[in-house]
Chains A and B, each alone.
Chain A
Amino acid sequence: MTSKKRTAFRWTVRLLMWTATALTAALVVALVVYVMAKGVPHITWELLSTETSYLYDRKGILPNILNTIYIILAALVLVIPLGVGAAVYLTEYAKNKRLVAAIEYAAEILSGIPSIIYGLVGMLVFSEFLGLGSSLLAGALTLVIMNLPTIMRSTQESLKTVPQSYREGAFGLGAGKWRTIRTVVLPGCVDGVITGCILSVGRILGESAALLFTAGTANNLNGLFEAMTAPGSTLTVALYYYAKEEGEFEVAFAIAAILMVLSLLINLAATWVTRHFQRRKAL
């Protein structure tokens, strides 16, 4: 190649990369602007504070907001002890390194499985076999299984960053293994647990397939405990439902705008938590 040709080649490559970057950025911006423009005008107080009523020809997504909160709470309450417990066992107690590696590998695979498969299995196991029917509880349990690997892995990573010298210090004072873990190791990995939770909440917010199978599409206003045993749709499921089944695009876009803002907030929270704890660790 002559040097002229080489320069031309270099410029072509640079131009292509530029175009790709610009296109990506433009797509993101366009998508956000489009959704916001179509959704925000329809976010009204009535929409946020009531339930849909055909009698009064009113659309409201309060039940869906509540269902989303309920299902996140229920899933986290169950998944945190399980995931943290599993992580502590695997990193602090388990002796069989091969088994640990196998479980970690399985967890990686689990987190890559399409969520609709979790939905299918959740429906068969929780709704049918355990007789929970279409309910938020069945949905929450399905979400627990989906998010268990996330919480477990992020806790594990965080456990590994707790300095060995802390453990030695505690053991050297005559503290037993469990006391050492509880008082010195676990406080040092709160950041990992929180990061895992934030990731999970983001994932739950965006989940539709797994919940369509297990939690149903009802839009009734319920308290926390009745909601658990009744079918109910989260915001994302409701979005699908209003758009696809009812052709109510105004409501659908309003929900979409809300979800977008929420996921932005969640990303910010994740960044903030990571930075906050990094600073504390650097101290």
Chain B
Amino acid sequence: MKPIITAKDLCLWYGSAQALDHITLDIPENSITALIGPSGCGKSTFLKTLNRMNDLVEGVKITGTVTYAGKDVFATDVNQLRKEVGMVFQKPNPFPMSIYDNVAYGPRTHGITAKKDLDQIVEQALRDAAIWDEVKDRLKKNALGLSGGQQQRLCIARALAVAPKVLLMDEPTSALDPISTSRIEELVTQLKDRYTIIMVTHNMQQAVRVSDYTAFFLLGELVEFGATESLFSQPVDRRTEDYITGRFG
């Protein structure tokens, strides 16, 4: 498999506290990679490094390299990078504007203004995020009026509308009920033909159900990375085994 994102010897410090310790990892294209590990092990930190959301945090120091499509992400224009490497957050965070404007926000940001084009992009993104039928009659209504699960799918639509290549998802279902969760899992598996998805999850079953590859983090280190099936059935590292069998974390 061809890697689309590559991290090499990636270390990251928040002030003097090290959160990532020499992470080296290749993310295969058009697949779903799950990041698992106990709380505080650096999964979100790693994810946010890939689209440089850590730039917003003060006192962050990074060494090592991250490349996206062969280019050093720290040397590319950050807005262009985030257009190609989109993000869905743990808590649904639609903007306090209409459903339509939420989805159109990204395309408008990147210079698409013609109403005809926007209409088409918005509809396609909402269809791809499996929420079109629920919202097509209320596109002009405030997005904050949607349910939590709908809001999260709207946020996925909003991310898809800028046509990213990679979608980073940080525990996208942890704030949702079981039904919304399974809808989003289903959605994610459908999206992998066209997108590369990297998803943090605390839910082992979810990792097994949806992901092709799994990376196990512990205390800022990448302990093990491999095909989900083999990682869960024959873990190489003792610590991975302990974790996936529920002996800690």
Q: In the complex, which range does the number of interface residues on chain B fall in?
A: 20 to 34
Given contacts A183-B105, A283-B144, contact A174 B89 (CB under 8 A): no
Within 8 A of A (CB), among B87-105: 87, 89, 91, 93-97, 105
Within 8 A of B (CB), among A115-173: 163, 165-173
Instruction: Find chain A residues with CB under 8 A from B80 CB.
Output: 174
Interface: B82 (CB within 8 A):
yes
Residue of A nearest to B94 (CB): A169
Query: Which chain A residues border B82 with CB–CB below 8 Å?
Result: 171-174
Pick the contact of A174 from B56, B94, B110 — CB < 8 Å?
Answer: B110
B120 at the interface (CB under 8 A from A): no
A173 near B93 with CB under 8 A, answer no
Binds A, one of B7-15, B25-33, B154-162, B200-208: B154-162
Residue A188 CB within 8 A of the other chain: yes
Does B86 belong to the interface (CB within 8 Å)?
Answer: yes
Q: A169 contacts which chain B residues (CB < 8 A)? A: 89, 93-95, 155, 158
Shortest CB–CB separation between residue B168 and chain A, in angstroms? 9
B95 contacts A170, CB within 8 Å?
A: yes
In the assembled complex, 19 residue pairs joining A and B whose CB atoms fall closer than 8 Å, in A order, are A165-B91, A167-B56, A168-B53, A168-B89, A169-B94, A169-B95, A170-B95, A170-B109, A171-B82, A172-B87, A173-B82, A173-B105, A173-B106, A173-B109, A174-B83, A176-B79, A179-B109, A187-B97, A283-B96
Q: Give the distance to chain A from B175, nearest Cβ to Cβ, in Å.
A: 12
A3: min CB distance to chain B, Å: 57
- Residue interface mask B142-172, A partner, CB < 8 A = 1: 1011000000000100110010000000000
How close is A156's CB to chain B, nearest CB, in angstroms?
19
A183–B159 alpha-carbon span in the complex (Å):
17
Bound CA span A169–B87, Å: 8
Q: Is B51's CB within 8 Å of the partner chain A?
A: yes
Give the B-binding residues of A (Cβ under 8 A): 163, 165-176, 179, 183-184, 187-188, 283
In the complex, which residue of chain B has the Cβ closest to the Cβ of A184?
Answer: B95
Partner of B159, one of A165, A173, A184: A173
Tell me the nearest residue of chain A to B110, going by C-beta.
A174
Contacts of B93 in A (CB 8 A): 163, 165-166, 168-169
Cβ–Cβ contact B95 & A172, under 8 A = no
Chain A: minimal CB distance from B169 (Å): 11
For chain B residues 62-98, which have a beta carbon within 8 Å of chain A? 79-83, 86-87, 89, 91, 93-97
Say whether B142 contacts A173, CB under 8 Å. Answer: no
CA A184 – CA B79 in complex, angstroms?
16
Contact of A175 among B96, B109, B145 (CB under 8 A): B109
Measured between beta carbons, the chain A residues less than 8 angstroms from B97 are 187
- Nearest CB of chain A from residue B106's CB, rounded to whole Å: 4
A173 to chain B, nearest CB (A): 4
List residues of chain A with CB within 8 A of the CB of B159.
172-173
The CA-CA distance from A141 to B89 in the complex, in Å, is 46
In the complex, the chain A residue whose C-beta lies closest to that of B144 is A283
Q: Which residue on B lies nearest to A95, using beta carbons?
A: B58
- Given A173-B109, A175-B109: 13 more A-B contacts, CB < 8 Å: A166-B93, A169-B94, A169-B95, A171-B56, A172-B159, A173-B83, A173-B86, A173-B162, A174-B79, A174-B106, A174-B109, A175-B79, A183-B105
Cα A149 to Cα B171 with chains together (Å): 42
Q: With A165-B89, A165-B93, A184-B95 in contact, do A170 and B105 touch (Cβ < 8 Å)?
A: yes
Chain B residues with Cβ below 8 Å from A174 are 79-83, 106, 109-110, 162
Instruction: Tell me the bound Cα distance from A41 to B93 in angstroms.
Output: 57
Q: Which of B53, B94, B110, B142 contacts A172 (CB 8 A)?
A: B53
The residues of A that contact B91 with a CB separation of less than 8 Å are 165
Complex CA gap A227/B51 in Å reads 56
Q: Complex Cα distance A173/B94, Å?
A: 12
Kindly report which residue of chain A lies nearest to residue B145, judged by CB atoms: A283
A20 to B226, CA, bound (A): 77
Whose C-beta in chain B lies nearest to the C-beta of A183?
Answer: B105
Give the residue name and chain of the A residue nearest to B108 (CB): A183
In the complex the two chains form, is B105's CB within 8 Å of A175's CB? yes
B residues near A172, Cβ cutoff 8 Å: 51, 53, 82, 86-87, 89, 159
